[in-house]
Amino acid sequence: MKLNSKYFDMIRIAPRKAKNAEPEVRQCQHPGCEAPGPHRAPKGRLPDEKPPVEDFYYWFCADHIREYNRAFNYFEGMSEAEQTAYREQMATGYRPTWKMGVNSWAGQAAKGDATFFDDPLGLFKYRNTGPGERPQEEGPRRRPPRNAERKALEALGLDETAALNDIKARYKELVKRFHPDANGGNRAAEDQLRKVIQAYDYLKKSGFC
């Protein structure tokens, strides 16, 4: 760009940003100490309404912060009863607790009178069936069979709706039927027995049964 260009005067240069100011270094507040005091220590227990940082903390050097922490007593000014109550609250995370059987719901559940909560998505074991009624447990839902699993079921003479007990019972039945001892060494029965065993083994290995 030419120095005598009309656009030269239109250029505006952003002012340089000031360098990051050095952090304020406090002086150690221990009497007679002139060392820097970068470490803060609370003056006492934190009140309900937290005061400004400057009002609630002391600032010490490394040596005096260690000395202060060793002598610090969090329970100073609290009675023995208040200390006991505080420790009990800390043990339960400030949450209410009950002894076994005190909770009214637990008492109803023990008598079989509890109303079970509603679980429309089936995430939990039971659904709400009303007071006095405990729902029957449902077995785990099985995934639909794959093509190879469907063929293995057909080899056993079953369809995809067969339950695990049905598959096992059918397998035992066919093994007895096609066993060589029951068929006098019939080759056709042996081939059929081999197919039954292979189909059942595949269903087990695939996790379908």
For residue 19, is it within any domain?
no
For residue 158, is it within any domain?
yes
Pair 45, 55 in one domain: yes
Cα separation, 71 vs 60, whole angstroms:
14
SS3 assignment, position 27? strand
Tokens of 178: 């096609």
Pair 153, 122 in one domain: no
Pair 121, 109 in one domain: yes
Pair 111, 58 in one domain: no
Pair 181, 197 in one domain: yes
Nearest Cα neighbor of 200 from 139, 164, 180, 182 is: 164
Task: Indicate the range of 31-35, 111-115, 157-161, 171-175 predicted with least confidence.
Answer: 111-115
Pair 84, 59 in one domain: yes
Cα separation, 206 vs 209, whole angstroms:
8
Most confident of 40-44, 170-174, 186-190: 170-174
For residue 13, is it within any domain?
no
Pair 30, 84 in one domain: yes
For residue 5, is it within any domain?
no
State how many domains the chain has. 3
Pair 126, 187 in one domain: no
Pair 177, 130 in one domain: no
Per-residue pLDDT for 159 more than 70?
Answer: yes
Cα separation, 78 vs 44, whole angstroms:
12
Domain that holds residue 169: 147-205
For residue 134, is it within any domain?
yes
CATH at 157: 1.10.287.110
For residue 84, is it within any domain?
yes
Cα separation, 134 vs 116, whole angstroms:
8
Pair 85, 39 in one domain: yes
Report the pLDDT value the prediction gives residue 114, as an integer from 0 to 100: 47
Whole-angstrom CA distances from 18 to 11, 23, 86, 110 are 21, 14, 50, 72
Cα separation, 61 vs 32, whole angstroms:
12
β-bridge partners, 39: 60
Task: Give the pLDDT confidence of 62-105 residue by residue, as tens digits.
Answer: 999 999 998 888 788 788 888 888 787 777 776 766 666 665 55
Please state, as a whole number, how many other Cβ atoms lie within 10 Å of the Cβ of residue 196.
21
Pair 35, 51 in one domain: yes
β-bridge partners, 60: 39
Whole-angstrom CA distances from 199 to 160, 177, 179 are 14, 16, 16
Cα separation, 97 vs 133, whole angstroms:
28
For residue 2, is it within any domain?
no
For residue 7, is it within any domain?
no
Task: Give the pLDDT confidence of 14-45 residue by residue, as tens digits.
Answer: 677 666 666 677 899 999 999 999 998 888 77
Cα separation, 110 vs 102, whole angstroms:
12
The residue among 182 and 185 whose pLDDT is bigger is 182
Pair 131, 159 in one domain: no
Please state, as a whole number, how many other Cβ atoms lie within 10 Å of the Cβ of residue 200.
22
Please state, as a whole number, how many other Cβ atoms lie within 10 Å of the Cβ of residue 193.
20
